[in-house]
Amino acid sequence: MLTETVLTAGDGAMHLWDLRTGTALSGYKVAGPSCRAGCLALGRTTVRGGAARAGVMYAAQADKAMMHVYQFERDQPFIKFTLPEPCAALAVSHSGAYCAMGTERGRIYVWEVSSGALLRGFDAHFKAISALRFTLDDAALVTGSADATVKVWLMSGVVSLDQPDAPIPLHVWSDHSLPVTDVQCTASSFSGARVVTVSLDHTCKIWSLATGQQLLTLLFPVALSACRMHPNETTLFVGGRDGIVYQADLYRRRDAAGHLLETAGQASAAGSSAAVEGVALPGARTGQPGKLFRGHGGAITGLDVSMDGSLLVTASEDATAKVWDVASHQLLRTFTQHKGTSGDGRVDDASLYSADGDVGGT
């Protein structure tokens, strides 16, 4: 049976829970402060038939240059190893072959998971790296930074032993005016993928990975901290520093004459080349009508969407994770295990994964 579960990391602990029922399945102990936002990643292992599935969890410690690796069945890390520098962002390739880490000094380190060998360490940005993402086919690594730039690196150049010098980025996008806070790649191979970036400058930008062209800019009323694309790639969810998740529709309905319709007609892409569109709060006179998920009392730190696109998972600095119904925008459940005895704390990340069969608890 295919089970979809949520992994959340917060102050001093990580929890695994069932997406549909909210049942806590496992808890994991973390020495010292837990990993910061962006420093939690799921690794893949190969099972019968050559398929890859989630097998381990990587969690970088927030106050030390230390990595903890967990198995789902055990509440203690089964591997601990030191890092060259404290981790600021972490990502594991979809195949599970490579693990990439970004640091506060703007450096990127890439390991081969099977051997543990450090393949490359190089200066990528001038300031701290805030987000790392692999494309679906692992052909490229996309990095976002506090220096307000986004860069695309071909993995063939990053892991090549024949290239002693630092790799040269394929694309450098510098259209943001303030630090980039999150980066997402759509579920397509390199040639058809789009990249979504959000920033403290209140904008969300969508780029073509193959051409490097900027396709659309969405302007929001607040600084942004997280983003996630709907599986059908027609809707974008963006988390704000105000604790609200904004829904932006990327396709509009038009009739044969080209007039916008609300409920019928042919779909067309929102905006044109490098177009700028506003996403407004309800009642505003300009921009897309606001479709909001309200309920968090702190900045959004992580977002994820279920495989069928019906549920949205949000994590926040208010120490809660919430599950929402996408169609109705209704709150279904709140996960509060990360709250301390004093009621404070935070949830730094939330990730969904699917497993065949039950997940063992502690």
Using the Cα atoms of residue 203, residue 214, residue 92 and residue 106 in order, give the sign of their dihedral.
negative
Quote the CA–CA distance of 224 and 112 in Å, as a whole number.
33
Q: Enter the DSSP assignment of 190.
A: G
Residue 342 scores a pLDDT above 80: no
What is the pLDDT at residue 359? 37
What is the pLDDT at residue 305? 92
Q: Are strands 13-18 and 245-249 parallel, antiparallel or unpaired?
A: unpaired
Residue 46 scores a pLDDT above 50: no
Residue 143 scores a pLDDT above 70: yes
**Residue that wins the pLDDT comparison between 102 and 347:** 102
Place of tokens 């001093």: 12
What is the pLDDT at residue 300? 93
Do 314 and 299 touch, CB atoms closer than 8 A?
A: no
Quote the CA–CA distance of 139 and 210 in Å, as a whole number.
11
Residue 18 scores a pLDDT above 90: no
Instruction: For residues 49-65, give the mean pLDDT.
Output: 69
The string of pLDDT tens digits covering residues 252-298 is 655 556 554 444 334 344 544 555 666 655 555 544 555 899 999 99
Quote the CA–CA distance of 111 and 314 in Å, as a whole number.
30
State the chain's maximal CA–CA distance in angstroms.
62
What is the pLDDT at residue 254? 55
Q: Enter the DSSP assignment of 163.
A: -
Q: 145 CB contacts (<8 Å, ≥6 apart)? A: 102, 106, 124, 125, 126, 127, 128, 129, 130, 151, 179, 180
Q: Are strands 66-71 and 140-145 parallel, antiparallel or unpaired?
A: unpaired
Residue 58 scores a pLDDT above 90: no
Task: Give the residues across from 350 on adjacent strands.
Answer: 8
Instruction: For residues 126-143, give the mean pLDDT.
Output: 95
Please report the domains of the chain, with CATH numbers, ordered by start residue. 2-356 (2.130.10.10)
Place of tokens 């910061």: 36
The string of pLDDT tens digits covering residues 226-247 is 999 999 998 999 999 999 999 9
Quote the CA–CA distance of 19 and 336 in Å, as a whole number.
14
Do 85 and 65 touch, CB atoms closer than 8 A?
A: yes
Highest mean pLDDT among 155-164, 256-265, 322-331: 322-331
pTM for the model stands at 0.85
What is the pLDDT at residue 157? 92
Quote the CA–CA distance of 146 and 34 in Å, as a whole number.
22
